[in-house]
Chain A
Amino acid sequence: MNPKRRRSMSENRKSPMNRQKRRTGRRHPLATVALLALGLVFTGGAYAAFSTGTAQAESSANSQQTIDEGKKLFQANCATCHGLEAQGTKEGPSLIGVGAAAVDFQVGTGRMPMQMQGPQAQQKPVQFTDEQVKQLAYYVASLGPGPDIPADHLTNGGGDAANGAELFRINCAMCHNVAGAGGALTEGKFAPPLTDVSGVHIYEAMVTGPQNMPVFNDMNISPEDKRDIITYLKYVQDNRSPGGFELGSIGPVAEGLFIWIFGLGSLVAITVWITAKSN
């Protein structure tokens, strides 16, 4: 898990043009090890020097000032569990190398700062402004290389919905339900509904694997396929069911409850009316 994750992280900060060529080279198992070692040595040292290399998407956002602001926010709001230098404590994991995407997802959806320890972090109202979320994200990104916040063309829903739907059914539906209505996992954990999640957050979840979600790196599902999945989910979000109210899109259980309570219930009420005595 870990080596793979790091690989995808270090890959992410390279420019998109190089990515295709580099990936084929890195498929070799030994290349992974070599790259890992190289990556660890280089990034550790090099990042202290030029920590501005992480984010190409918003070059103005990750200035030293942004990072400093992020650090202040981090130390005030996150350090209790993640440590003053984001090195991790018994209460929370190290954030070095999780990347801007992970922070943007966790803080941007209101999961972090976490309300309480539990089977998984619950969503709550978002605590920071978008600007503050970005400051936090780039501060954490400055600590070590990791997946960046995705570019707009990957998350705006402009892909192929049919391909995305098929990928979603194969890779995502067993936890999130075919219509993205969410589903249960073990021990009180769950896959949340995707019915009102933004494209950026869906993309970030796929590349960072928050909570109990596995990481779908770019070798597993390419950025274009991720875009297609987001396109499908946006289609489901924007187009209500042609058949009427969806009853939560959770399948036959809701349908069965509905027909017993409202279907049969209303007809029983009518039978009472029909057989009521006239006086």
Chain B
Amino acid sequence: MSTATTNAPQKRSFTAAASVYVNERTSIAGFVKELGRKAFPDHWSFLLGEVALFAFVVVLISGTFLTFFFQASMAEVHYNGSYVPLKGVEMSVAMASTLDISFDIRGGLFVRQMHHWAALLFVAAIGLHMLRIFFTGAFRKPRELNWVIGFVLFILAMAEGFTGYSLPDDLLSGNGLAIINGMIKGFPLVGTWMSFLLFGGEFPGTDIVGRLYTLHILLLPALVVAFVALHLVFVVVHKHTQYAGPGKTPGNAVGPPILPVYAAKAGGFFFIVFGVLALIASLFTINPIWNYGPYDPSPVSAGTQPDWYIGFADGALRLIPPGWEFVWLDRTWSFNILVPIIAIGVFIVLALMYPFIEAWVKGDKREHHIADRPRNAPTRTAIGAAGVTFYAGLWAAASSDLLATHFSLTMEGVIHALQAVVILGPFVAYFITKRVCIALQKKDREIVLHGFESGRIVKLPGGEFIEVHEPLDEYERWRLVSFETYEPLMLRPNSRGKITFGQRLRAGMSRWFFEDRIAPVTKGELEAGHGEHH
């Protein structure tokens, strides 16, 4: 590069010539200049979204291969492929073609396993990415809408997954659809109609695989791609958040520029993700449909579970005590199904709306570009921990039978323990997390004011022993003191001299959020502290 620019401008290198050629025809230079110099802060937790994105790319590539061979038909055939224990068994074309992909098409099983593993990774990476965003407060203004878009992507990813693992029409996927059928029928009045509409008649019918296939390869991927694009545009528009540090202000973004460093890293990282998935797919079986056999409404295998991301819904159904279904007004009211659906619905809506709720409670209309350390927002972190506990309890409940067998417990004991975890656990988690956060903040204060314990014990001439405290370096101190605290809102009458209910609610919520708080060390305190010790 340098030789091309300094020595002989007329004798350009190939890269330079190609760049000029492309730019003269597309005027892309302005775009590259704008985007290529965008800084991307470097932190491992900022790459979790990329893991999700790259896993999705792997899903798209492997899925395209699978569409070449999969036939989404529920017509009946007798299997005549290579897998002996299914030879001659009657099954749908969908199942038979999936078996052919697994046993008779070169590389088919590898790609099928890669597709499924990548899908699991896709949703898992989204989950971890969302937790990072939540606990660092990266959803605050101006990024609230991007949180919503991300949340929609999470739900779309779950829908993609569910429609996907229902396609092979094996016993496990049929059991999953049977549960969905039951849940839909649990809705009062309209349930049965909706079920017949979805399945084209009585469950299971002969339509559902074809319909799910259209959703799985056409509508849902298009939506995911569109929302991913929007998500990324917003990331560029907002700039990336960064953790507090010297020189990092709300107005800048410190890190390597996208071109060339960051693009190279990210591009390489894509191949790493691809490679890890290829390794997993080649070594570990996933969804061995040949064990499950074709769908038949009568058998259900022990250990029948959905894929992990639907587990929380399955767990919610398992945790409902018996007897919540009764007949009233000549209709069956299935509260054993409605209560989990409502509970999960409320949970999802609260999580989706959380950025707006927190902003309203704070009355904060400023932009925030510095990511919080979780301890510095104790109430938010505690709410997050409560939500994680709730979700994890439901999630664990989906494997209640396996917990029982693998840890030599009774199934009833596991269920009752998890019922307690789901209902009481969030409160316990909230309380513990909040106290831990405040304790950590106190520790930070202590360290900023007095330095950290060096472990060096010194005997003074007078015979007194002291431990030497070493002061922090400036960089570390900056990290520990740069955060914001909020104080509870004052309840004030509005312009007409009234205190509205909304105001009272907000003041109450604000008190709940910010009553217990640790303020960052101020400059004055720091100087006073230094004076004391030196």
Contacts and interface: CB of A to CB of B under 8 A. Distances in A.
Q: Do A and B bind each other?
A: yes
B269 A274 contact: yes
A243 interface: yes
A252 B308 contact: yes
Contacts of A263: 117, 120-121, 124, 276-277, 280
B363 interface: no
Contact of B113 (A243, A249, A260, A262): A243
A246 B113 CA distance: 12
B131 to A, nearest CB: 12
A270 to B, nearest CB: 6
Contact of A184 (B42, B273, B405): B405
A247 B283 CA distance: 10
A177 interface: yes
Contacts, number: 198
Given A263-B117, A266-B276, A173 B302 contact: yes
Contact of B303 (A183, A232, A242): A183
A270 B172 CA distance: 34
Interface stretch (A142-150, A161-169, A205-213): A161-169
Interface of A is mostly: helix
B304 interface: yes
B402 A253 contact: yes
Contacts of A243: 102, 109, 113, 284-286, 288
Interface stretch (A68-76, A79-87, A185-193): A185-193
A57 interface: no
Contact of A165 (B113, B293, B304): B293
A264 B121 contact: yes
B467 to A, nearest CB: 30
Interface string A22-59: 00000000000000000000000000000000000000
A177 B85 CA distance: 16
B287 A174 contact: no
B156 to A, nearest CB: 19
Contacts of B308: 252-253, 255-257, 259-260
B89 A184 contact: no
A178 B292 contact: yes
B291 A249 contact: yes
Contacts of A178: 171, 291-293, 301
A175 B299 CA distance: 10
Nearest to A192: B405
B260 to A, nearest CB: 15
Given A246-B285, A263-B124, A275-B43, A270 B299 contact: no
Contacts of A176: 302
A121 to B, nearest CB: 14
Nearest to A253: B399
A271 interface: yes
A235 B86 CA distance: 12
Contacts of B399: 253
A268 B50 CA distance: 11
Interface stretch (B200-208, B407-415, B458-466): B407-415
Contacts of A257: 308
Contacts of A270: 269, 272, 276
B387 interface: no
A170 B405 contact: no
A161 B303 contact: no
Most chain B beta-carbon neighbours within 10 Å: one of A119, A246, A263: A263
B246 interface: no
Interface string B274-316: 0011001011111110111100101111111111110100000
A2 interface: no
Contacts of B254: none
A230 to B, nearest CB: 12
Nearest to A161: B85
Contact of B299 (A169, A247, A255): A169
Contacts of B88: 162
A252 B284 contact: no
A253 B51 contact: no
23 contacts: A119-B410, A162-B88, A162-B89, A166-B89, A173-B300, A179-B291, A181-B303, A184-B411, A187-B411, A188-B409, A243-B286, A244-B282, A245-B284, A247-B285, A251-B304, A252-B307, A259-B117, A263-B117, A263-B124, A267-B51, A274-B47, A274-B268, A275-B42
